[in-house]
Amino acid sequence: MTAPITAASLALDGGVLAAEDAAPEVAFVPSRGFWGHVGHRLVRDPVAMAAGAMILIVVLIALFAPWITPMDPYKGSMLRRLRHVGDATYWLGSDELGRDMISRLMLGSRLSLFIGVTPVLIAFVIGSGIGILAGYVGGWTNTILMRTIDVFFAFPSVLLAIALSGALGAGIFNSIVSLTCVFVPQIARVAESVTTGIRRRDYIDAAKLSGASALTIMRVQVLGNVVGPIFVYATSLISVSMILASGLSFLGLGVRPPEPEWGLMLNTLRTAIYVNPVVAALPGVCIFVVSIAFNLFSDGLRAAMEIRQ
């Protein structure tokens, strides 16, 4: 019969094995958590960081625009209209009414960002709720909600936004409502797909066996695991929302004059494209740069979260 092995019986070549030799020290490394690892990978992506810096600069300009604009963005002079870029007084030239372009571009970033971001945020909340409910409950609830959502996919986003804005009328509020209706189905479809993929996981079954209600499971277990992919997808829609909002303003269905907004500025400067094409293209350049920045940052965030389509 083999004797039990004890600490006193451990010997190597006649010497007692020290306790510290038997259990070497292991350095404790605290875990960053999921979002900590996402942030760590994100800051190591130079493209995403450059895009994030560009977005931050535009947001700061939009917040402090009324106090940092070099000139009054509403005051014009017909004697100084369509000045060229590099003018001693108007650094980025002047528009068709002699108003300072750099001041109007800075102040116009407020409405452009507001109309571009707000519909996506509202659609993120509404679409996530619809998608999570349909994906978790399933059955007839899923069929009714998703078939209703599919009706909106029968229309291209641009035509749907124009049709809704035309029916509601021009204005900032109506533009936000129409763009929200465009993005809710898209986010709801993603939320439903992700929720359907996790509703049979073991931790969901464990929560059901513990007696948790369906609302509690959707709020705690489901929402915590699907909000990341939905949020990443929603950030990619901001650039689309800004382009659609600018398009509505360009068509006269969004912001009304004399408020500065990049899409509206493109519309008012379209007659000056043959006289001063550089100044006429500046609002379009701003829309392009900010849209690309949101797209690149969204791609970097998706890569940091290791989301696979």
- The whole-number pLDDT of residue 200 equals 81
Pairing of strands 11-12, 15-16: antiparallel
As given in the structure block, the two tokens for residue 246 are: 């600018």
Q: What is the pLDDT of residues 153-210, one digit of tens each?
A: 888 888 999 999 989 888 899 999 999 999 999 999 999 999 988 888 888 888 888 8
Question: Exposed/middle/buried for 34, CB within 10 Å: 0-12, 13-18, 19+?
Answer: exposed
Instruction: Indicate the pTM of the whole model.
Output: 0.83
pLDDT tens digit sequence for 85-142: 988 888 999 998 899 999 999 999 999 999 999 999 999 999 999 999 999 888 898 9
Q: Judge whether 107 and 73 are in contact, CB under 8 Å.
A: yes
pLDDT tens, residue by residue, 255-290:
888 889 999 999 999 888 888 999 999 999 999 999
The torsion angles phi and psi of 88, rounded to 5 degrees, stand at: -60, -35
| Cβ-Cβ contacts under 8 Å for 127 (sequence gap 6 or more) | 183, 184, 185, 186, 187, 188, 190, 191, 230
Write out the two tokens for 215.
Answer: 């609302």
Domains in the chain, CATH or no CATH each: 36-66+83-304 (1.10.3720.10)
**Residue 173 to residues 108, 109, 116, 208, 254, Cα–Cα distance (Å):** 16, 17, 12, 42, 9
